[in-house]
Structure 1
């Protein structure tokens, strides 16, 4: 029995516990809304790690509406009383956690879900969201379009850096990678494409349903949907793997000509060449999607199946986007400040292609990039703002950093780095500091001049 002097305190504590429903265990707290990315601080959410997305979408091109369900399997990284999902626009019909209704509150692009029971740290839980509406198209700070892009005969979904939240709820930061299963239902006569392998396709009652599986971890910005009257082709390639790799390509009929057909046919050959240089292809499927002019303003390295507008579909761009499957897709940036690791490697892949196939030494490509003043606007590892993460220095000067590494360590060590970096961080995220440490470990020397002058230095050196 407590002493008389402690009795009021004990009674008050008992009242608090009764009102809060706490029985003395660890009380859950809400997961963070936003992961404080240096360029997109509100993007992503804390308190959990997504393991798998199972997305089911039905799309009507006439109304441009989707009716969809997302089942999100995640593991709690703290004791959770509530957690957030990113979702732009669209109307949530219902939400449940582990089969029990969950309360939903919305503030802009943030959904806050409060499950009926708190989730213990380490527990794996499943969230089911039913939603509908006309997905948004986002205009980024640099003027480019992303998100859900309606087309003349369907739609195209691209998500770099934030657009994936326009068509499914989730943890939309590249640091939280997950596997995916995507089921798409569209009017008969249209193709419904996504990432990974096509598991099944059937048509009934005027509608076609395609089921796609992406079993390797993927950042949400790399997820894609392409709906339209595409013509598809299939092939096989080894690409450094022990089994035949299925290659599925698709092209809008209006984008077809002898040049584009010939280039699509080269996808297996290019993948095989890249595997020799970068190591085994990291995924269980490959390919490309080519759309008509005007539907998309740029090419994007959507995982296993990059997308291209016809005007940007040429050999260097194909090499660039396929190289991203190693650099950017398999090894993804930890934050958007690390994007130069994606683009520097993919641009250098273009230089290597020109060296091997066009008799243009990488040194010549380096000198051309050095002479371009646009590459000196800022250090590639430190863009001044979100609107600059796709600017010239991230690409051209990022590639120059790699060439300076090659010059300092020699070809043998450099190619060891090309293959070893995506092997060490396969299916994971990495930072610029991780890369610096890895290079210096493999080279067994410090490369301070490379980092100080070429990666972080302000201004253009006097000479290459």
Structure 2
């Protein structure tokens, strides 16, 4: 139907064998690109005007795919090894911002200018995006784990004062996430925050920002705890994707929990870093109210099909539960190890799951099966009988075995399975029973 074109490149003299050498292919195309219906969720080109009536344009196309506006290999599993170059021609009165670093601006002598941006790292096709508008620019240097990092900010000129104040969360984000995840993955390309005509998106090295210079998510706290109003959601969440989505990218969007689950949990880790561990715990638990348990988190493979929106809050709380089992030191080591081991790589959920289990020295395979591949929230069934506690898991996959921290006379750990087990407290006697609330577990 014209939506996909297959291009076969063959060495005819070699009978269907492709010669192992570099070659170039030039494609000329034109037309009227699709207009976004509800960006960034239902994507395409965004044609708007700012408050002063100036043109303001960009693109958002995650999920839908970058082929909505330019010819490309529209799959996450294959990224250009050496990045991409964008040449954006606009009216002289406008500014064009792209990924990576600005290499040159050429005055064409006909009322237009061409802005050339270059990103040198591998990049998802949906992350290659132009921003066009009446932009003003300011920047700062950040002393990070891998040296001095350029942090640049492009905003509509009349919002410059608001941005200077609100964007102070950007270096705060960088400090917290380099602590938890390791060095920012794109020092060569720099970090940019660009005001966009939509809410936000993790465009690599040019993060889209449209949160109206408010804390929270457009002024709301998605956790309902109050902690989410202490910081700007879009700066924290979308920048967190630089580690999980842009550095570590899933081969198939069915595994999008790797992008969204870790980045959802980055919000709790940011809160933990600046406001204390219990604040981070409260934020993580608060986001559970957004879990729907409609369909599994992992989608259908091979057909560009995401799973449930629970890839955010349910997957994030799964990670929070795993953190309770292995402790903060090992959990942080794993987060940093993931970003080092899979630096600028595409992955599958199995690779991530196996890495966590191996480095935690705990088999979490049934935990991943439970929270990512079913809609069930496991339940601990228990009975207090005299001086003993009897317990087992129900509403779960066979073999589900997440260890739990409980309070039964004292704080202690149990290792429930689907078979009944007994914990005896004789002669001290029974007391109130509770499960540490940081586990995503029901009880009855």
- Mapping of 1:109-188 within 5 angstroms? 109-113=3-7, 118=12, 120-139=18-37, 144-152=41-49, 153-178=55-80, 179-188=83-92
CA distance in 2, matches of 1:143, 1:317: 13
Correspondent of 2:312 among 366, 390, 395? 395
CA distance in 2, matches of 1:125, 1:194: 25
Give how far 1:122 is off: 2.8
Query: What is the aligned partner in structure 1 of residue 203 from structure 2?
Result: 302
Gaps of 5+ in 2: 50-54, 216-231, 380-440
Give how far 1:198 is off: 1.0
8 A Cα contact 1:344 1:395, kept in partner: yes
Gaps of 5+ in 1: 1-106
- Mapping of 1:41-440 within 5 angstroms? 107-113=1-7, 118=12, 120-139=18-37, 144-152=41-49, 153-178=55-80, 179-205=83-109, 206-242=111-147, 244-253=148-157, 255=159, 258=162, 260-283=163-186, 284=188, 285-291=190-196, 295-296=197-198, 298-311=199-212, 314=215, 315-359=232-276, 360-370=278-288, 372=289, 374-382=291-299, 389=306, 392-440=309-357
From the superposition, tell whether residues 379 and 207 of structure 1 become closer, same or farther in structure 2 (CA, over 3 Å).
same
CA distance in 1, matches of 2:268, 2:36: 32
CA distance in 2, matches of 1:120, 1:170: 20
CA RMSD of aligned residues (A): 2.7
Give how far 1:256 is off: 5.1
Query: What is the aligned partner in structure 1 of residue 223 from structure 2?
Result: none
Give how far 1:235 is off: 1.5
CA distance in 1, matches of 2:73, 2:299: 24
Of 315-324 and 303-312, more deviation after overlay is shown by 303-312
From the superposition, tell whether residues 135 and 313 of structure 1 become closer, same or farther in structure 2 (CA, over 3 Å).
farther
From the superposition, tell whether residues 415 and 211 of structure 1 become closer, same or farther in structure 2 (CA, over 3 Å).
same
TM-score by length of 1: 0.69
CA distance in 2, matches of 1:348, 1:180: 30
Give how far 1:265 is off: 3.4
Give how far 1:261 is off: 2.8
Partner deviation per Cα, 1:122-167 (whole Å, 9 max, x = no partner)? 3322110112222212558x99331221222042012202341133
CA distance in 2, matches of 1:406, 1:281: 22
Of 152-161 and 381-390, more deviation after overlay is shown by 381-390
8 A Cα contact 2:299 2:308, kept in partner: no
- SS of residue matched to 2:321: helix
Partner deviation per Cα, 1:206-236 (whole Å, 9 max, x = no partner)? 2222111110000101111101111221211
CA distance in 1, matches of 2:183, 2:10: 46
Give how far 1:255 is off: 4.8
Give how far 1:112 is off: 3.5
CA distance in 2, matches of 1:435, 1:313: 34
Partner deviation per Cα, 1:333-378 (whole Å, 9 max, x = no partner)? 11001101101111111011122223453322232233x2634223
- SS of residue matched to 1:137: coil
Going by fraction, where is strand more abundant, 1 or 2? 1
Number of residue pairs matched? 350
From the superposition, tell whether residues 417 and 337 of structure 1 become closer, same or farther in structure 2 (CA, over 3 Å).
same
TM-score by length of 2: 0.72
- SS of residue matched to 2:242: coil
8 A Cα contact 1:162 1:172, kept in partner: no
CA distance in 2, matches of 1:299, 1:385: 27
Give how far 1:204 is off: 4.2
- SS of residue matched to 1:131: coil
Partner deviation per Cα, 1:367-394 (whole Å, 9 max, x = no partner)? 2233x26342233224799898385401
Give how far 1:254 is off: 5.4
